[in-house]
Each structure stands twice: as structure tokens, then as C-alpha cells.
Amino acid sequence: MPDRFEQVVLPHLDAAYNLARWLVRSPADADDVVQEACLRALRFFDGFRGGDSRAWLLRIVRNTCYSWMRTNHPSALTDAFDETVHGGETAGGGVEAELISRDESARVRKALEMLPVTFREVLVLREMEGFSYKEISEVTGVPMGTVMSSLSRARQKLRDQLETGTRKEV
């Protein structure tokens, strides 16, 4: 069984970490959350009936992230626009920040980090992991129709965010 657990879980470790990292937004916390999620996965493993192991694992990771946020950072779950991250990012200043601001992916990262958590999760699952609406619905427990509309709103928000960000930097 441990062998089989390894075969099912470890191939999706990058996906698990990436999702956790985008949801909790700190490397150390993402590390903890993924380990905790794997412990839970191990506990639930007997209930895993085969099938899409990536969606199965990410669902556990996602739920672990949410419990972690509920305990450690409840405002992260409700904020429409996260000031803690927003404030932290602009505090850098100087030449270094100037260089980063010219970097496209750093700009996108910043914009994505500031989105509400429900938008971040659909964008990560759809755009980075290439999940279908059905798989996203499996991971998040949200109905497929809602996945579609929140994805649409998330994209619009991110684009708005990128546009205002650009205007500020020009």
C-alpha cells in the first residue's frame, strides 16, 4: 500500500505545491500545508477508488489550504482585495523593484496574488494545470456552471488588475 500511495500521490506533488503556494501565498506555509494534506490523503487513501488521482489529491490540498487559512489568516478568505499582500509588495522600492516591475511575469504574479482566493484557485487550476470545468468542479466542490462564471469573473478581474498596475508603473 505505501508503494501504491507513493505512485498515486508523488507524481502530482508539483501540482499540489503550486496550488497550495498560490492559495496560502508563502513558501513555508505551502510546504506545511502540502505535508498536512498528504497525511490526510494517506488517511483517506482507502476510500480512493482509482480514477483521477490528480483531482482527488488537489481536492484534499485545496480543503487543507482552506482550513489553514480559516485558522491562521481568516481575512484571506473574505477579502475582496488583499491589502496585506498589496502593502507588502510595494514596500520594496529602489532599483530592484524597478527592474522587477519591467518583468512581465512578475507583474502577472503580483496581480494574481492580489485576487480573492476563489479567483486565484480557478485560474491556477484552469490555466496552470489545464483542468476542465468538470475537474475544477471536482476539486472545488462548486457546480460546473458556477465554475464557468467565476472563471470568467476571475479573468476579467485579473485583466483589470493588470491594466491598473501598468498605468501605475508607466
**How long a stretch of residues is the chain?**
170
Inter-residue contact 85 to 112 (CB < 8 Å): no
CA distance 113 to 129: 17
Find the shortest distance in angstroms from Cβ 79 to other proteins: 21
Please name the residues in contact with 130: beta carbons below 8 A apart, sequence gap of 6 or more.
Answer: none
CA distance 169 to 150: 28
Candidates 58-66, 78-86, 88-96, 122-130 — which segment interacts with other proteins by CB under 8 A?
122-130
What are the grid coordinates assigned to 166, written together? 501598468
Residue 26 interacting with other proteins (CB under 8 A): no
Inter-residue contact 55 to 8 (CB < 8 Å): no
Nearer to other proteins, 69 or 124 (CB): 124
Residue 38 interacting with other proteins (CB under 8 A): yes
Please report how the helices 2-9 and 53-72 are oriented relative to each other, as an axis angle in degrees rounded to 10. Answer: 80
Residue 22 interacting with other proteins (CB under 8 A): yes
Nearer to other proteins, 65 or 74 (CB): 65
Window 55 to 84, contacts with other proteins (CB under 8 A):
none
Interface with other proteins by CB under 8 A: which residues?
A: 1-2, 4-6, 9-10, 13-14, 16-18, 21-22, 27, 30-31, 34-35, 38-39, 42-43, 46, 48-50, 52-53, 104-106, 108-109, 112, 123, 126-128, 132-133, 148-149, 151-152, 155, 158-159
